[in-house]
């Protein structure tokens, strides 16, 4: 066998990207922000999904507004509230935090970012959570990119 054609060394081999699911109870705020930032900041490193154990009729409007102001992207154009059964089976499942309740997804979480839900908080507090999510996304990009 030609050494160059071992999978990782073959110039034609493309390693499959990990599917990362960002999970919170309602899939309306933190997990939606994480999905959007994953798609925006690390599309070549991993596939980003978000889900909850329950859904909301719409994404948190403060999250939509601040995401648009900070990054120029409208989450409502490409995202909606969904449950874990609506997305592909993830390789990695990350909980956004359990201050509202811990979602049950039928398996253990690989990580818990322990992010406070910014719903109803000031823009300053909301942006602080968005920036923490961004930092975590960039760490994932370094790990899987």
Q: List the domain boundaries for the chain.
A: 22-144
Yes or no: say if 126 and 118 are a contact pair by the CB < 8 Å rule. Answer: yes
Tokens encoding 24: 């919170």
- Which contiguous run of DSSP H or E holds residue 142? helix 123-144
pLDDT band at 9 (very low <50, low <70, confident <90, very high): low
Contacting residues for 97 by C-beta, under 8 A, at least 6 apart:
24, 30, 112, 113, 114, 115, 116, 117
Model-level pTM?
A: 0.87
CATH superfamily of 22-144: Response regulator (3.40.50.2300)
Reported as a single tens digit per residue, the pLDDT across 95-107 is 998 766 666 788 8
Yes or no: say if 128 and 1 are a contact pair by the CB < 8 Å rule. Answer: no
Tokens encoding 6: 């071992």
For helices 123-144 and 61-71, angle between their N-to-C axes, nearest 10 degrees: 70
Q: What is the pLDDT of residue 107?
A: 86
Q: What is the pLDDT of residue 68?
A: 93
Distance CA 127, CA 87 (A): 27
């Amino acid at each position: 066998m030609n050494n160059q054609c071992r999978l990782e060394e073959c110039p034609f081999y493309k390693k499959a990207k990990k599917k990362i699911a960002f999970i919170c109870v309602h899939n309306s705020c933190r997990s939606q922000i994480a999905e959007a930032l994953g798609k925006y900041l690390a599309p070549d490193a991993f596939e980003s999904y978000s889900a909850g154990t329950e859904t909301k009729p719409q994404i948190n409007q403060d999250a939509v507004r601040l995401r648009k102001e900070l990054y120029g992207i409208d989450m409502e154009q490409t995202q909606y509230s969904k449950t874990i059964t609506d997305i592909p089976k993830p390789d990695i499942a990350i909980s956004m935090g359990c201050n509202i309740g811990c979602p049950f997804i039928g398996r253990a979480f690989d990580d818990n970012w322990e992010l406070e839900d910014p719903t109803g908080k000031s823009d300053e507090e909301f942006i602080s959570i968005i920036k923490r999510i961004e930092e975590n996304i960039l760490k994932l990009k370094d790990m899987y990119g």
